């Protein structure tokens, strides 16, 4: 444990704050995660619970490991050759790194939205129908139409695109493209949605729309968002985890983290003294 409110030069040796939750459903539970890129130790003994149907934000200075840790949750780090992950990471108590886990299915259950909107170079309809098609979710065209419509509705995009479903997804504005990517993630009925700085390429109006959407989605999905914006973390998340140099320094209710952090490093970061 890291001792609270101590000298900032202290050497941190483990997970601090309240990494465990006892009063809510735990959707994802991580124990002693370590991530290495070759020799570089990027995530150091992080343990953390993520509650179901709420938004958890990961904050911390650039390079502290937020995205690396996020990618452990759906094994996106598997795609990086030099990356090695150890520790126990569970989704509904099932070991995500078990050899028997089908990674494609895992990534349907734990979807991802990236920093830069990345629609496929295909129509709006095909962007959303692609996942359900490869996972065999829709049996008929009518079923697929229904999935496409409801996903676009839940992503708050239907009204804007319903008359041009055959137009290219890449022709939409940046904010619309990001909501299309969210619709694409939703279309395969994920349980968890990981968002890696989903608004960093968007203007304030598009950002506000995506934030509103995140707030609506949390009644049905567990959402984890990496953000550089503390205002955004405060606006959208119920729980916040603060990372520093690969360690989890503190985790707790967002309001508490921003008003009464336990640790000097958290205090320093949220008040803009470093980062
Ligand atoms: N593919 C990679 N190969 C080697 N090192 C990497 C790789 N990806 C990340 N790292 C290193 O791991 C550390 C954590 O990086 P990561 O991107 O997870 O941090 P972050 O907190 O998300 O940063 P940012 O806020 O700048 O996006 C950094 O030192 C980074 O340089």
ipTM of predicted assembly, 2 dp: 0.98
15 confidence band (pLDDT: 50, 70, 90): low
Q: Is residue 1 part of a domain?
A: no
Three-state secondary structure call for residue 25: coil
Of all protein residues, the one whose alpha carbon is nearest to atom 16 of ligand 1 is: 65
Residues in contact with 176: Cβ distance below 8 Å, sequence separation at least 6, in sequence order: 157, 160, 161, 206
Q: What is the pLDDT of residue 6?
A: 42
Q: What is the DSSP string of 141-182?
A: HHHHHHHHHHHHHHTT-HHHHTT-TTSBGGGS-HHHHHHHHH
Give mean pLDDT, residues 106-125. Answer: 95
Q: Is the CB of 248 under 6 A from ligand 1?
A: no
Q: How confident is the model over 175-202, as a mean pLDDT?
A: 94
Measured between alpha carbons, how far is 229 from 77 in angstroms, rounded to an integer?
24
Say how far apart CA 52 and CA 81 lie, in whole Å. Answer: 31
What the block records as the tokens of 163 is: 């008359």
CA dihedral over 44, 80, 222, 98, signed as positive or negative: negative
Say yes or no: CB of residue 65 within 6 Å of ligand 1.
yes
**In this predicted structure, what is the pLDDT of residue 19?**
72
CATH of the domain at 224: 3.40.50.300
Q: Which is higher by pLDDT, 10 or 30? A: 30
pLDDT digit string (tens) for 32-80?
Answer: 999 999 999 999 999 999 999 999 999 999 999 999 999 999 999 999 9
User: How far is the C-alpha of 221 from the C-alpha of 217, rounded, in Å?
Assistant: 6
Average pLDDT along the chain: 91
Within a domain: 86: yes
Distance between CA 122 and CA 207 in Å, rounded?
24
Could you report the per-residue pLDDT of 71-110, keeping only the tens digit for each?
A: 999 999 999 999 999 999 999 999 999 999 999 999 999 9
Confidence of residue 273 (pLDDT cuts 50, 70, 90): confident
For β-strands 192-196 and 83-91, DSSP reports them as unpaired
Mean pLDDT, rounded, for 233-237: 97
Q: Which atom of ligand 1 is nearest to the CA of 38?
A: 4
CB 63 less than 6 A from any atom of ligand 1: yes
Is 162 within a domain? no
State pLDDT tens for residues 139-172. 999 999 999 999 999 888 999 999 999 999 999 9
Do the domain assignments include residue 250? yes
Tokens coding 134: 């490869």
Predicted local distance difference test score (pLDDT) of residue 1? 38
From the CB of residue 220, how many other CB atoms can be counted at a distance below 10 Å? 14
The pair of structure tokens assigned to 46 is 């992080």
Range of the domain at 91: 26-117+192-270
State if residue 66 touches ligand 1 by the CB under 6 angstroms criterion: yes
Which pLDDT does position 206 carry in this prediction?
Answer: 85
Tokens 């170079």 found at: 121
* Number of CB atoms found within 10 A of residue 185's CB: 25
Residue 227's H or E segment, with its range, is: none
**Is residue 170 in some structural domain?**
no
**Structural domain contains residue 155:** no
> 83 with 37: CB under 8 angstroms?
yes
237 falls in which pLDDT band (50, 70, 90)?
Answer: very high
Number of domains within the chain: 1
Report the percentage of the chain scoring pLDDT > 70.
Answer: 93
pLDDT of residue 17: 59
Contact 42 CB / ligand 1 (< 6 Å): yes
Q: Are 71 and 256 within 8 A, CB to CB?
A: no
Which residue's CA is the nearest one to ligand 1's atom 6?
Answer: 37
Q: What is the C-alpha to C-alpha distance for residues 165 and 250, in angstroms, rounded to an integer?
A: 44
70 pocket-lining for ligand 1 (C-beta < 6 Å): no
């Amino acid at each position: 444990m890291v001792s609270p409110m101590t000298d900032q030069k202290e050497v941190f040796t483990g997970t601090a704050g309240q990494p465990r939750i006892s009063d809510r459903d735990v959707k994802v539970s991580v124990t002693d995660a370590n991530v290495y890129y070759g020799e570089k130790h990027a995530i150091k003994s992080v343990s953390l619970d993520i509650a179901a149907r709420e938004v958890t934000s990961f904050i911390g200075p650039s390079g502290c490991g937020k995205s690396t840790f996020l990618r452990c949750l759906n094994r996106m780090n598997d795609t990086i050759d030099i990356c090695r992950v150890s520790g126990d990471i569970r989704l509904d108590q099932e070991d995500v790194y078990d050899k028997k886990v089908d990674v494609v299915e895992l990534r349907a259950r734990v979807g991802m939205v990236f920093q830069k909107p990345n629609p496929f170079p295909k129509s709006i309809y095909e962007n959303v129908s692609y996942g359900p098609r490869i996972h065999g979710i829709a049996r008929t065209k009518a079923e697929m139409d229904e999935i496409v419509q409801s996903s676009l509705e839940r992503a708050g995009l239907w009204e804007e695109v319903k008359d041009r479903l055959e137009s290219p997804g890449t022709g939409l504005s940046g904010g619309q493209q990001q909501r299309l990517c969210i619709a694409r993630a939703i279309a395969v009925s994920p349980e968890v949605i990981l968002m890696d700085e989903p608004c960093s390429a968007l203007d304030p109006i598009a950002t506000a729309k995506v934030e509103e959407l995140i707030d609506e989605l949390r009644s049905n999905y567990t959402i984890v968002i990496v953000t550089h914006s503390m205002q955004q973390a405060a606006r959208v998340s119920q729980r916040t985890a603060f990372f520093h140099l690969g360690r989890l320094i503190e985790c707790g209710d967002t309001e508490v983290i921003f008003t009464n952090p336990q640790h000097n490093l958290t205090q320093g970061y949220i008040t803009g003294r470093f980062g």
